[in-house]
Structure 1
Amino acid sequence: MFNKGSTAVLSTPDIPFIVAVKKSGIYSFEEGEWVLQYGLSQDIYKLVRLGRFIFGIGDYGTILRYEPYQKKWTHTTFSVSQRLWDIAGNDKSLIVTHGGSKLYMSRNYGSSWAVVKPFASFSAPPLILATEKVFDVRFF
């Protein structure tokens, strides 16, 4: 299984750790065994805990949201060919990620998303390569 390589790992107080495995999915280590939690054909490059959720982001606009207490996965895909490189949020339910020259923003921990095009008026929009780790809800 791990001969494919892992692409992201996260440990939380609730889950000893979860690992994203290249073109395979998200696995957890439970009672000495690896358990497939969510199968995927896209790679996930970052896992992060925001609020009570765990988010994974990766290829082709893929966003995963996991609610550990209900053990429920939600899979969102934006129609972009780019990888989502980073995701950040705050304790007021704001989540922001980016792909290409667009920002994807949620005000409800990823239950719904809006597209923000800050460079729409540019003839050649720049690519956004990173997001800040702290957001002020009043900014958006």
Structure 2
Amino acid sequence: MRISQCFSGATAVTKGLNGDYFLAVDKGILLIRKDGTEKTLIQLENRILDLTFIDSIIYGVGDNGTFIRSTDYGHTWDVSTLPTTGSMWSICSNKNGTVVTHGNTVLFLSLDFGNTWKTLHPFQGLIGSKPSIRSLFLEGPYVFVGTKVHRLHGGIWRVDLEHYETIRIKKDTRMIASILKHKQYIVSATGTCKGHKGTIEYCQATPTFSQTYEWETCESDCQEGCYLDLSESDGYLYTTTSQDEKGVGKVLRVYIDEKKVVPCAIVHGHGWRVSNQQSEFLVAGLYTSLYTNSQFQHFINH
């Protein structure tokens, strides 16, 4: 692809092999080849809000319980519906066949690559209204669950998939839009739809001897309303933001060791998702998706 190339507005993206990307556009999936050409792989009735590619399998989830899977690099697809009428914003998986996605307040767990599912209720012991799920990250026997805005039970919860134990490792009333592991840290992208309360925060993935997770915040030259996504490849960590008052979303590189985030591109609308291969990235923007390289600051205006 060219150093800077635009594509259709999209809601999700994940990298494939050898510089390819899979892009979820309006009710369909595109293959963006490394030479910059596009191929429509499938048309769908619902939006896909998250994609992941692992060990040659593509998984995706979206509106109205939609679950999609391809085991042959997008040539054919299995499309099914999980038991929720809501939007599924996150899916995570590993090479052993564990796949986790979510309903409003429940988790859907598969141990056979998405062929069969069981429903888990991680918040059933909580008093009062249950928090809605927004983001997931799978690490060993644990899935880390980020919630939408919730005054009482919001934050990040760690769910043990073997013993079905749930503990909260971060209390937060804002939305936890994305979680991943970078180096030895768990990193979260957080914010709200109102105000300028977005932050990138991180903690040691292995808690201290007191079994508490100590969170720190990265600094930024400008406050954002909400950080929406995180992507990491070979030490390069990126995040995206919701659109500002001018309708502009950003892509920023995150430097954990320096505790800072630095803008490197803008898109028209929310930067829903980003996926990178080292310093090159493709951001799925609401109105425009952009492929570029953070070593060259290319800004695409609306």
Q: Which interval holds the TM-score relative to the shorter structure?
A: 0.7 to 0.9
127, 130, 141: which one pairs with 1:125? Answer: 130
Q: In structure 1, list runs of 5 or more residues that go unmatched.
A: none
Q: Matches of 1:15 and 1:38 in 2, distance apart? A: 20
Query: Would you say 1:92 and 2:96 are equivalent positions?
Result: yes
Q: Which amino acid in 2 is paired with 1:66? A: S
42, 52, 66: which one pairs with 1:48? Answer: 52
11, 17, 23: which one pairs with 1:13? Answer: 17
Q: Matches of 1:20 and 1:70 in 2, distance apart? A: 12
Runs (4 or more) in structure 1 with deviation over 6 Å come to none
CA contact (8 A) 1:89 1:135 kept: no
Where do 1:1-140 residues align within 5 Å? 5-13=9-17, 16-22=20-26, 24-29=27-32, 33-68=37-72, 71-120=75-124, 124-136=129-141, 138-139=162-163
Q: In structure 2, list runs of 5 or more residues that go unmatched.
A: 1-5, 142-160, 165-302
CA contact (8 A) 1:29 1:35 kept: yes
Which segment is superposed worse, 63-72 or 116-125? 116-125
Q: Which amino acid in 1 is paired with 2:29? A: I
User: In structure 2, do the counterparts of structure 1 residues 39 and 70 end up closer, same or farther at CA, with 3 Å as the change threshold?
Assistant: closer
Q: Matches of 2:137 and 2:45 in 1, distance apart? A: 28
Identity of aligned residues (%): 27
Between Structure 1 and Structure 2, which shows a larger proportion of strand residues?
A: 2
Between Structure 1 and Structure 2, which shows a larger proportion of helix residues?
A: 1
SS at match of 1:111: coil
User: In structure 2, do the counterparts of structure 1 residues 75 and 15 end up closer, same or farther at CA, with 3 Å as the change threshold?
Assistant: farther
TM-score by length of 2: 0.40
User: In structure 2, do the counterparts of structure 1 residues 126 and 29 end up closer, same or farther at CA, with 3 Å as the change threshold?
Assistant: closer
Q: Matches of 1:121 and 1:139 in 2, distance apart? A: 15
1:47-103: CA deviation from partner (whole Å, max 9, x where unpaired) = 111333111111111111111258321112123222111111222211111110111
User: In structure 2, do the counterparts of structure 1 residues 29 and 119 end up closer, same or farther at CA, with 3 Å as the change threshold?
Assistant: closer
Larger Rg: 1 or 2? Answer: 2
